[in-house]
Structure formats: C-alpha cells, structure tokens
Amino acid sequence: MNGIPGAGGGARAAGALQPLLPADPSSLAGYRLLGRLGAGGMGVVYLGRTASGELAAVKVTHAERADQADFRARFRREVEAARRVTSPWAVPVTGADPDAPEPWMATAFVPGPSLGEAVHAHGPLPERSVRVLGGAVARALAAVHEAGLVHRDVKPGNVLLAVDGPRLIDFGIARVAGETGLTSADVVVGTPGFLAPEQAAARAADIGPASDVFSLGCLLAFAATGRPPFGTGTADALLYRTVHDDPDVDGVPEPLLPLVRRCLAKDPAERPTAEDVADRLTADAEAEPPDWLPAPVVRTIAERSARMLALPDIDPTEPGAPPEGRRAPGRRRFLLSAGGAVLAAGAAVGARALYDRGGDAGGAKTGAGARERRWVIGVHADLTGPAGAIGRAQEQGARLAVELFNARPPSGGSARKRPFTLTLKVSDDRGDPSRALAAARALTTDPDVLAVLGPTSDTTGEAAMPAYDEARMPVATVSAGLNLLAAGDLRTLVRAIPSHPKAGNWIGFHVLHQGSTRPGIVHDRTDDVYGWQYMGGVDWAVRYEGASTPYHRVVPAGTTDYRTVIRDMLDHGIDAYVHCGVTETAVRAALALHEAGFTGPRATGQRVFDEQRFLREAGAAAEGWAIGAPAADPAALPSAAAFRTAHARRFGAAPAPYAGEAFDVVNLMIDVLVEAAAGGSRPGRAQTARALLAAEHRGAMGAYSFDASTREVNGIGTYMYVVEDGRTRYVGAAPLGPPGKKGS
C-alpha cells in the first residue's frame, strides 16, 4: 500500500505514528483518523479505526494528483491488484474508492515493524526465522503470481512482521504479467538494490514472476546478513551492480545458500518458482514451534500493540436510553468500547462504512399490472454439503415465515392483511465456494427476487457477494460472521450475527467469569482468517483492563501433534484453554487436554458448535467444554413459543439452531416489502436494501436493527452451550464484560 514516498512499511508501524495536522480530516468513509503513518508528494497514509474498533492504514491521495487521469488509473490498478491476491501472508484491502475526489484505499493494519526496521534495530535474523519469513513471503508471492500479477517491489520495507508470521504489503506498482501499459519501456520501476537484473535494465518484456523471486532472494540475503546483497550507494551504482556483479551472500547460513543463489540467478529461467522456494524453506520449519521471531523483535511488536490500546477512544456504545425515535434492542447490547476490536490489531480486518450508490430499477405501481409479477424471497444455502444441517434449518425457518405470511387474509379485512403473495426460491451451493457464485446468480438473474437470506458459511459468502453486490441485491446472513464480508465496497449485505472478532470478545469474557487469570489461547491456522479473527477477539477481552495474562500458541495448519502444544501450554501455567479454530483441531486439543488431566475451563466458538463431529469424536474429552454460538435456543426463550409450535406442526420436529434467526430475518424482509406495498409501489432491490438496513423488527428470537456503518446487527452477542453427558446444554447469553463490569 505504498506509492507515497516516505510512507513505506516502517512508517506504518505504531511507533512512527504522528499527530494529525490542522488541515487533516478527522474521519473518512467510516474510519476515524487517529494520526499520520506517513506522507509524501503523492498523499498521506493515516491510521484509521472503524466504528467497531478495527485498525486500518488509510491511504489518501492529494486532490491535484487525482485530477491526473493516468494517476487515477494507476491508483485503481493498485486497488484491483491488491484485491485479486488471496493469501494469509498478504495484507488485505478493507475498503477503497478510486473514484472519490481524493481517491483512498484502506488495508488491514499490522502493528509490527517492517523487516528493514527490525534488522536495522536488532540485527540479522537467525536461520529458522529466515526460513519462516521466506516461506511465508514466497507463499504470498505464489498467490500474487496465481492471480496473474507481478509484485515488482519486494523489499524489506514491504514486509511487516507479526507474531504469527510476516505480511507482504504494497501493490502500488504490481501489474499483470507481461503487461507494459501505463509505464514507459525505459523507466526503472521498483527499489534499487532489490530489483531483478531485467528490472534494473528496464527490460519490460522480460519482467515476470521470476523477477519477484530474484527480489525474494535479495530479501532473504538481507534478513540473514543484515546487508543488501548489492551493497548501498546511489541508485545508478546499485542498478549497475545488480546487472553485472555477483551478489554478496557471505554470512548466509550454509543450508540456505544454494537456494538463495538460485533465486539470485541473472537468467530468469534459472530461478525457482515462488512455490518451489516456499516448499524448500518450510519443509522443516512448520514442524517446529511457532515462536519464529527473536525475543527483541517480539518485544517491539508487543510494545507497539500496547500503544494501539492507548490510542484515543472512539465513542463507546454504553447502556442507556436509545436515540430518539429508535427502540432499544431486545437482544444483547454490546457494552464494550468500540476499541474492543483492537482485538484485531494484528489481525486488523475491519469493516468500513458502506455506501449505497443507487442502482434501483424503479418499482412498478401496485394494481393490475403489478399482480403479473411475483414477489420472491430467495434462500442461498448449503443444503447438501458440509453445513447442510445449518442450511436446511435456515431454509425451514424461511419457509415457515413465508407460509405464515401467505396464510394471512388478503387485502381488505384484517389489520395483518396480505397485500401480495410471496414465493420462496431456494438455491443450493452444496457448501462449495466454487458453486457459490452460480448459486447467487440463479437468484440475482431472476428479476422477481427482491431479497435473499444467506449464504450459510464464510467461504461461500465471500465467493457469492460480488454477484449480489453487482445486482444491488439485499442479502442478510444469520451464520456467516467473517468480518471481510462487510469490507470493501459491498452495499447490500446486512449481518444478523456478530462478527467473529466480537464473538471472540464474549468467549473471552466467559472464560474470565470462570475465574481464569492465565488463559491459554490457540490460534489454529487451518481456517486462518476465522482463527485469526476469533483469537484477536478473545485476546482483547481477556486482557481487558489487565484482567488476565494470556499465553498464546499459533499452530500451523496440518498440525496433528496437539500433545506437544498442550504440554507446552500447561508448562507455562495456563488455567483455562480457548481454541480459536475448527472442529478437527478442537477434537485433537480436547483429547490432549483430557489425556493430560486438565479440568479447567475450556471454550471454543461457532465453527465447533456448527458440527456435531466434536461431540462424536472427542467423546468423554468433550465433557465440560463451553461452546459459543450466534444462535440462541428457541426452547429457552418465552418469545419463541409460537414459533416452536408452528415449526413442530409444519415440520414435525423442534427447530434446529439458526432456524429461529432465519425465521425472524425473513419476517423482517416481509415487513419491509409490506411497507413498500402500502405506499403503492413494488420496491426495487436497492430501495429494499436501504429499507432493510434502516428497519427494526421484534421477532421470536429477539429484536433486530442494524448499524448503518458496519451493516452488523445491533446488540446481539454470543450464546453459550456446555457439553454435558454427550449433549450441548444451553446456558444463556455470554457475559457482556469481565467480572465486576456493570451489566456483565
């Protein structure tokens, strides 16, 4: 996220935060701006925070630059390039508007130092650190190349260091492989000293993925020795040495030297691929402990993360009277300072304020003409895949809401009259992200579909949302809590579920209420983003006002030996265990804890609740575990009595988890459509999306309204279940804060 001189990776570190100037804005597109991370002739990079507390690096270009057509085109390319790269080792874009008067882009903020800053401050990295660093950056570059791009500026300032691994940043000069537009053929683009010979010689036609691999070789040599392989000096001298001289690799550890030399081959054809480099570097590293950085660097990261907690607060959400004209939410109110999602100040995956740009086709008047068109609500769900039980429960809840509405008397004689007949249209993606886009388009291409419930999971939601957003289709999900679903330019999504970081908050508070002062927190990287977001939420909660001192472990994907992980955590004195990960690894952790005789509080989150596999495979080891979920138990809520009765009559069984939430959200959609029909028109999709975001509804499971900036439901928290005798018993809503906090 560079392109601004003086605003490189090191400038984005928390230690370099400068105060805002009088001419700087205090907020931008839903981000409160807290200070400057860097500035130059092109613009300014600010540290921003969303309404929900997540931090972002917000890059804003100067207006005079934005007036240059080629500059705006380059900025748009930067945004597009960054969004095409999907990797846990590349910092994601969380929002952007290349068409704004002053184009801006926000990326997740990483509070650690850049590689260059760390090496200059603390010296070269040890061999294992270099292996982990190079393996992760190589994986990020492999994702860049898979997206058809070349990064073109891999250097120490564009690699940020975090406790759970490095992050590659800055796609300002990335471009499609083989493309030469927007840059003159004789212009050298990149950073001298870390360029490939074909870049240094401005041979644009030869620049490709192998060029990034050469830069990666320079990066590895620098990390291992503390020196750039082609020395220092003027740009001309560095470019000449890169093309003609051998690199200085004295001091590179012997086991790494052959690979580094291959990366630094003058001929691009002789270099390995990024994937090959990653495989060579991580063959042994992933089996070793996850504490990959030297202690002085870890202390730097910890100090900077602490400074993030000391930044000015944004307005907290506190208990009290609701704003005039709005009812207080009937479900759980989020009582924390919005700084609670500083939880992600390492995860840093924020939602941004979203904008509706219109796009309505215009509604047809009710009457004879309107009766020729159907009024359809869609359900996008996994009905036959890994989350089929959840998808089918939601489909049943939606179907029941539609059937009860259609059972109302038609317009004319009742206060609850039916101005139209509803149809339910269901699209099954089988839980497969590769099918999710087609499942979404089956609904968006039907002009009668006015709103959609779903998708069921994070991964299918990510794949499907571009189609929904393009069609201006209002979408409400009750089971996909990924923060990234509300990032970027999405204008039509609302989430009737807390984000994973917020859910992690409540899991952390639950553990504190069990008396823990030294909880162990595992970030399982099997589903890295989910685990990352949950871990950040738990970590912030258990540290809240010094409530406890947690011990962390980051466990690589594919790890099967949880005995070693648990033994290490017990040796460090943990008195509780929180698993931020998927069911498969939660089973391994439960078995290892049971074998070790650990009986302290054990807790986990939504992904484990969503599958009965944990109870089956963990068996006796699952007893006593607490599992948080965004779905309450209808059997425990007096307000859900009529829903339970209707569900049992219609389907012959009690409602499964998520059925009640789906029932409520579809009834909320119905309220919006009925109100539009009362005004004499059939609403368009964008109009329905705006109305849905502003609507309020009191349903079987509680009351619903949405935050206009985050598009997330107000007030709903996490609900706790405890495993007893091989079953989950509903406990109730998770505490709102640590012990002693009012309302917790």
- 546, two tokens: 């010094």
Identify which of 739, 744, 706 has the alpha carbon closest to the alpha carbon of residue 499.
Answer: 706
- What one-letter code names the amino acid at 613? R
Pairing of strands 475-477, 375-381: unpaired
CB 321 within 8 Å of CB 34 = no
Alpha-carbon gap, residue 386 to 607, rounded angstroms: 12
d(Cα 13, Cα 689) in Å, to the nearest integer?
38
Give me the amino acid identity at 31. Y
Measured from the Cβ of residue 62, the count of other Cβ atoms closer than 10 Å reads 17
Catalytic, out of 24, 70, 97, 153: 153
Q: Among candidates 53, 43, 47, which has minimal Cα distance to 74?
A: 43
DSSP category for residue 609: H
**How far are the Cα atoms of 135, 523, 593, 626 from residue 565, in angstroms, in the given order?**
22, 11, 10, 20
Cα separations in angstroms, 606 against 497, 507, 603, 720: 11, 10, 11, 10
CA distance linking residue 568 with residue 343, whole number of Å: 24
Q: 475 and 494 in contact (C-beta within 8 Å)?
A: yes
**What are the b/e assignments for 191-211, b being 16+ CB within 10 Å?**
bbbbbbbbbbbbbbeebbbbb
The tokens describing 677, both together, are: 């029909």
Residue 524 appears among annotated catalytic residues = no
CB atoms within 10 A of CB 610: 24
Containing 440, the helix (H) or strand (E) segment is helix 433-444
Q: Is 562 helix (H, G, I), strand (E, B) or coil?
A: helix
- The answer to whether 213 and 271 are in contact (CB under 8 A) is yes
Pairing of strands 576-580, 519-524: parallel
- HEC states along 4-56? CCCCCCHHHCHHHCECCCCCCCCEECCEEEEEEEEECCCEEEEEEECCCCCEE
Distance CA 681, CA 678 (A): 7
Helical (H) or strand (E) element with 554: strand 551-555
Bridge partner list, 378: 425, 452
Helix or strand (DSSP H, E) at 197: helix 197-200
Q: How many helices (H) and strands (E) does the chain have?
A: 22, 24
Share of the chain residues as helix, strand and coil, in percent rounded to the nearest 5: 40, 15, 45
Please confirm whether the linkage preceding 197 is cis (ω < 30° from 0): no
Torsion of CA 267, 269, 273, 277, to 10 degrees: -50
**What is the Cα–Cα distance from 466 to 464, expressed in whole angstroms?**
6
Active site residues: 153
